Structure 1
Amino acid sequence: MGLNTIDYALIIAFFAISLLIGIYVSKSSGKNTKSFFLSGRNMPWWILGVSMVATTFAADTPGLVTELVRDNSGVSGNWVWWAQLLTGMVTVFFYARLWRKSGITTDLEFYEMRYSGKAAAFLRGFRAVYLGVIFNVVTMAGVCLAAAKIANVMLGLTQGETLLISSIVVVIYASLGGLRGVLITDFIQFIIAMIGSIWATIYILNLKEVGGLENLLAHPNVSGRLNLLPDFTDTTSLIPLFIIPLAVQWWSTWYPGAEPGGGGYIAQRMLAAKDEKHATKAVLFFNFAHYALRPWPWILVGLASLVVFPDLASLSTAFPGLEDNIKGHDVAYPAMLTYLPAGLLGLVLTSLIAAFMSTISTQLNWGASYVVNDFYKRFINKASTDKQDVAIGRIATVVLMILAAGLSFFIQSAKDIFDLLLQIGAGTGLLFILRWFWNRINPYSEIAAMAISFIIAIVFFINGKMQQPFLQLEGWQQLVWGIAVTTIGWIAVTLLTKPTDKETLLKFEALIFGASSKFENFRYKILGFFAGTIGIYATLFGTGYFIYGKYILGCSMIALLTIALIAIRFSWKKIF
């Protein structure tokens, strides 16, 4: 597939704008670590919220959604990530204010604020490497693989060529502009990405091969995959797709962008907000846009791909140049984009490049903040100057990108990364929720949770790669076992070890809660949690019902959303 002059012009213009933004803000961002990693703590909620959405608008996300839709479960397969909305709403109404009140630079500083002693220091340093480097590199590798798949299908570029070109651009502006550069480019990238995905969806639905929305929904390859809820009579799909995510997964697992209690780059955005209200609004907007605003264009393209490319064999036939490690159902999304005309093709390619760069730039800045603030400055060079810290941050940015690009050659699909990250974080979520309120939790609790969950994940990963696995367990069974063993393990360690000293706890509670009770306005926060969850799900389902032509159900969802908004406004006034 060839690109026209207008397509190249759009792509080159986007690259140029991104680089110029990085160069423009480099002077102000390079003053010190707070400027480089938190943009001076004066960011409004809307730019932070959009940045969070843009970050999770990764190049691998459309492929993941397409892969889930093409699976036998169809649209309802998305419950494996839709259920994480509950995690997001907990962060909105219970933890966003707490993070902003802490005044720390990275969420890892929490460890030496909440805990004491050498164990707290070790935990902070180890998590800096574990999350900022290892976990972060695995996450970025999945995004790099997705970008390579898109470029291989749509441009005929090899994985090496794709990552070499894209990495150079994203590293330059991320290392120069810091978080401020990332936030500004995220805002532009999100707009481009939304326009591109919606416009592409409309065009694809009207392809003669698809025949419009009505014909698509009636097509035999599609009609059985439209349900928003799984078949409640089929326990083989109901348990892993619906019951486990809603009953267990959302509160018990740690996953980037959906950390129980907030964390990672979500915490970084909250810490960069002007104040507590802006931090809370930013996370609320992020959850609305992430779960209700974006999924349907991807879902519709995924459904359309079942008409044009009903199986992997048809994909391989249509694209004989696909590299072996790139073949998979997630390739169906870029395959459908090859039908786009000149101009629109360039815009959509630009939007996918924007999605890739947005995610990678955020992950790089966030990972580098851990390396600098929680490892280098804390343990290597405590007397380092601001100039040295920023320089180390820029070096870390380059190294993280190289590691992620290299690892991407050893994985095969977005779903593999999703499952692996979910398993690594299995059983740690409850700890992150309770550590703000249960004083008995100590550094050894977190060390135990991290170690046990990682060991279990590696055992299951190796087991799954064996020709004759010694454990015959389904994916959801592995997750449940991981959650159960890890949770029991860290609770046991908590009860068998000494709690943090009282002086540290009193300082922590005075800073975070002040003179008020830990559970002040608790009932209003619970009301906000349920109202926010119901409102966003109502928007998600209502959009689907209107697309399906079920207007009565769609209108009922609008009514439900209206009630939820009233409840959110009421609880908001009480909380603030």
Structure 2
Amino acid sequence: MSWIDWLVVAAFLVGISIVGVLFSKRASKNLSEYFVGGRSVPWYLAGTSMLATSFASDTPLHVTRALREGGLPRAWFYWEGIIGGVLVALVFSRLWRRARVLTDNELIEIRYTGKPAAVLRGGLAIFKCFFLEILTMAWITLGMTKIVTTILGLPPTFGLLGLDVPTNAVVVAGLILAALAFSVTSGFWGVVVTDTVEFVVAMTGAVVLAIIAMIKVGGPTGLREGLTRLSPMKEHALDFTPDFSATDTLGLLSFGIYLGVQWWARHESDGSGQRAQRFSACKSEGEAIAAGIWNLSVQWLIRSWPWYLTALASTVLYPTIVDHETVYPLMVHDLLPVGLKGLMVASFFAAFMGTMESHYNMTASYALNDVYKRFVAKQKDQKHYVRVSRLLTAFIATLAGVVALLLPSVMGAFRFKIELVAGIGLILVLRWLWWRVTAITELTALGTSVVTALMLNLVLVAPAGQEANYSALRTLIVVSTSAVLAVLVTLVTRPEPKEHLLAFYRRVRPPKALWGPIAAEAGDVGPTGLGWNTVAQAVLAFIFVCGGMLCLGKLLLGETVQGVVLLVISATSGVIGLRWLFKESKAASQASAEQEARAHEAGAS
């Protein structure tokens, strides 16, 4: 890289550092400011922050690997998330905002009670902090390490004081410290503001690289011809649906699992985690819904296609490279001119920093709010808790860096995490919708999921080239086993105390259908905004998002007529659905605002 490129990168890093300093004083006030921005974040910042959080520097790496191995049909591994994304945006966004929690784990003792609830809250927080989140941050750091070493052309080791020092170790340490320095000072407001800047920079870089890559392969026509010659999928590389031969039973099964199971069989199926944190931070319920819709729309209509085009073009430009996860940064190194290369490296840093800041902040919230404050030190002042959260963040970040050096690949870790917690997904959805779900239900589902996934990864090992199909098969077995055991345990154990269920129902106002006896006793708790109309709105939202995503793909790949037809269908569904949704949500949002005001007054008194 030239000095101009380094100047661009330095300007970006200095800019976000200034933002961190500006918000450090506000973040130090109390836990609400530090973790949910005082519940005053506008919808566009919250929604864009969700986008930036899932726009990690590792994402284009595993997307590139997936599409180089399986062509465009392999994108269904990601597209299955549209269904769950619609439900989160339309349903769970408002439920999380009504719950008024600092962390999604805090919901556990609002929904359940007694020792099982305490064990679940503390145990799940520890599991998330010291396994799930560390694993996630580790593969993100591994991805960024591959980017840095590839673009800069760094050797595997370098000499220092007579010793051969692994380059990866030095790069990982530098990345962890850079993201950590910002996150511990700025708090949630600093995170969401810089997330917005980082997302714009990252998207700009992704679009620029996609355009140059498409020019290099000769546009849509050259891409199609090149993929027919060089892709493992040959003439099917640009198909929008998989092509199953009569003997490809496993491929057909895995596709069915993607569409029918995987969108709800995940540990954040109800929008928990970072999305719940951002819904909780919104100014109002209406803004939480708007944030969810903004995130859903931009993620699928705009964000993904630059990666897909670059990944497909890379198959033509670099057909012989075996480590697919290094191809994307290699294209940055080879294709971009001076200045633009610096912008792209800055965009990688933007994606990395945005995601890591959010993970640091959320992981610290679990460790502090659900473990330390709940079980260790209950009566300390707010500034003490903020200081402890910063120390916890530093400790967890260090562990993530160590794990990053041990991981073999980004995609392998990504798939393993999906399998490990697939069994909890159904229960996370049902705890909002069915009054009979208990803390023991969740504990059963989680324990069964983890044990089953670990066993399957030992005995059901995929042969070369079948990793995606075997991962889907293992996911199905994990989900089936966990769901059956969890439901059986639910039916043979006592429900939560009626008084506790009534308090939860009045606070959150979930859909009434499966809350029969509790809903009847609670009486009129105000409009929920959730009913059969929500189902129709969800269908319209799905058509809008899915149609728009396919429309953009068709247009970019030169299939104009089909693209225009899909555009009309998508736009019509979007206009009708959004007008209907926001018109009906006003009454429920007003009821939530009044309920929150009463709760605030009661707390003040």
TM-score, length-normalised on structure 1?
A: 0.92
Work out whether 1:150 is the aligned partner of 2:147: yes
Give runs of aligned pairs for residues 157-236 of structure 1, distance below 5 A. Answer: 157=154, 158-207=167-216, 210-219=217-226, 220-222=229-231, 223-233=235-245, 235-236=248-249
CA–CA distance in structure 2, aligned partners of residues 86 and 518 of structure 1: 25
Q: Structure 1, residues 376-417: CA drift from partner, whole Å, max 9, x if none? A: 000000011111110111111111111111101221222112
Which of 310, 315, 318 is the matching residue for 1:301? 310
Deviation (angstroms), 1:519: 7.0
Which of 241, 253, 256 is the matching residue for 1:243? 256
Q: For the Cα contact (< 8 Å) 2:90–2:292, is it kept in 1?
A: no
CA–CA distance in structure 1, aligned partners of residues 274 and 61 of structure 2: 22
**SS of corresponding position for 2:269:** coil
**SS of corresponding position for 1:341:** coil
Deviation (angstroms), 1:161: 2.3
Work out whether 1:536 is the aligned partner of 2:549: no
Considering only aligned residues, what root-mean-square deviation do their CA atoms show, in Å?
1.9
Q: For the Cα contact (< 8 Å) 2:91–2:530, is it kept in 1?
A: no
Q: Structure 1, residues 114-158: CA drift from partner, whole Å, max 9, x if none? A: 111111111111111111331100011110110011111111343
CA–CA distance in structure 1, aligned partners of residues 354 and 138 of structure 2: 14
Deviation (angstroms), 1:464: 5.5
Counterpart of 2:599 in structure 1 is: none
CA–CA distance in structure 1, aligned partners of residues 270 and 188 of structure 2: 22
Counterpart of 2:162 in structure 1 is: none
Match for 2:243: what amino acid?
D
Deviation (angstroms), 1:437: 2.3
Q: For the Cα contact (< 8 Å) 1:425–1:454, is it kept in 2?
A: yes
User: Structure 1 pair 303/378, CA: closer, same or farther in 2 (3 Å)?
Assistant: same
Match for 1:206: what amino acid?
I
- Consecutive unaligned residues of structure 2, counting only runs of 5 or more, are 155-166, 510-521, 587-605
**SS of corresponding position for 1:281:** helix
CA–CA distance in structure 2, aligned partners of residues 517 and 479 of structure 1: 39
CA–CA distance in structure 1, aligned partners of residues 312 and 280 of structure 2: 39
CA–CA distance in structure 2, aligned partners of residues 35 and 308 of structure 1: 48
The answer to which of 149-158 and 483-492 deviates more is 149-158
CA–CA distance in structure 2, aligned partners of residues 154 and 201 of structure 1: 17
Counterpart of 2:290 in structure 1 is: 281
Q: Structure 1, residues 519-543: CA drift from partner, whole Å, max 9, x if none? A: 7641111112111111111111101
**SS of corresponding position for 1:206:** helix
Counterpart of 1:74 in structure 2 is: 71
Deviation (angstroms), 1:295: 1.2
Counterpart of 1:107 in structure 2 is: 104
Equivalent pairs: percent with the same residue? 31
CA–CA distance in structure 2, aligned partners of residues 51 and 520 of structure 1: 25
Deviation (angstroms), 1:233: 4.5
Give runs of aligned pairs for residues 40-439 of structure 1, distance below 5 A. Answer: 40-71=38-69, 73-157=70-154, 158-207=167-216, 210-219=217-226, 220-222=229-231, 223-233=235-245, 235-236=248-249, 238-254=251-267, 259-313=268-322, 328-339=323-334, 340-439=336-435
Match for 1:570: what amino acid?
W
Deviation (angstroms), 1:572: 3.0
Q: For the Cα contact (< 8 Å) 1:253–1:428, is it kept in 2?
A: yes
Counterpart of 1:481 in structure 2 is: 477
Q: For the Cα contact (< 8 Å) 1:448–1:490, is it kept in 2?
A: yes
Q: For the Cα contact (< 8 Å) 1:253–1:483, is it kept in 2?
A: no
Q: For the Cα contact (< 8 Å) 1:437–1:518, is it kept in 2?
A: no
Deviation (angstroms), 1:462: 3.0
CA–CA distance in structure 2, aligned partners of residues 217 and 516 of structure 1: 57
CA–CA distance in structure 2, aligned partners of residues 217 and 42 of structure 1: 48
Q: For the Cα contact (< 8 Å) 2:236–2:243, is it kept in 1?
A: no
Counterpart of 1:316 in structure 2 is: none
Counterpart of 1:38 in structure 2 is: 36
**SS of corresponding position for 2:405:** helix
Deviation (angstroms), 1:290: 1.5
Match for 1:448: what amino acid?
T
Q: For the Cα contact (< 8 Å) 1:197–1:298, is it kept in 2?
A: yes
CA–CA distance in structure 2, aligned partners of residues 461 and 517 of structure 1: 48
Q: For the Cα contact (< 8 Å) 1:7–1:345, is it kept in 2?
A: yes
CA–CA distance in structure 2, aligned partners of residues 138 and 374 of structure 1: 20
Q: For the Cα contact (< 8 Å) 1:53–1:190, is it kept in 2?
A: yes
CA–CA distance in structure 2, aligned partners of residues 507 and 185 of structure 1: 37
Match for 2:118: what amino acid?
A
**SS of corresponding position for 2:230:** coil
Counterpart of 1:319 in structure 2 is: none
Q: For the Cα contact (< 8 Å) 1:182–1:362, is it kept in 2?
A: yes
The answer to which of 31-40 and 298-307 deviates more is 298-307
CA–CA distance in structure 1, aligned partners of residues 566 and 274 of structure 2: 32
Q: Structure 1, residues 87-119: CA drift from partner, whole Å, max 9, x if none? A: 111111111111111111111111111111111
Deviation (angstroms), 1:575: 3.2
**SS of corresponding position for 1:251:** coil
Q: Would you say how many aligned residue pairs link Structure 1 and Structure 2?
A: 549
Deviation (angstroms), 1:518: 8.7
User: Structure 1 pair 541/161, CA: closer, same or farther in 2 (3 Å)?
Assistant: same
Q: For the Cα contact (< 8 Å) 1:77–1:241, is it kept in 2?
A: no
TM-score, length-normalised on structure 2?
A: 0.88
CA–CA distance in structure 1, aligned partners of residues 411 and 48 of structure 2: 25
Deviation (angstroms), 1:237: 6.3
Match for 1:275: what amino acid?
S
CA–CA distance in structure 2, aligned partners of residues 240 and 518 of structure 1: 41
Q: For the Cα contact (< 8 Å) 1:109–1:124, is it kept in 2?
A: yes
User: Structure 1 pair 144/465, CA: closer, same or farther in 2 (3 Å)?
Assistant: farther
CA–CA distance in structure 2, aligned partners of residues 281 and 416 of structure 1: 34
CA–CA distance in structure 1, aligned partners of residues 265 and 419 of structure 2: 11
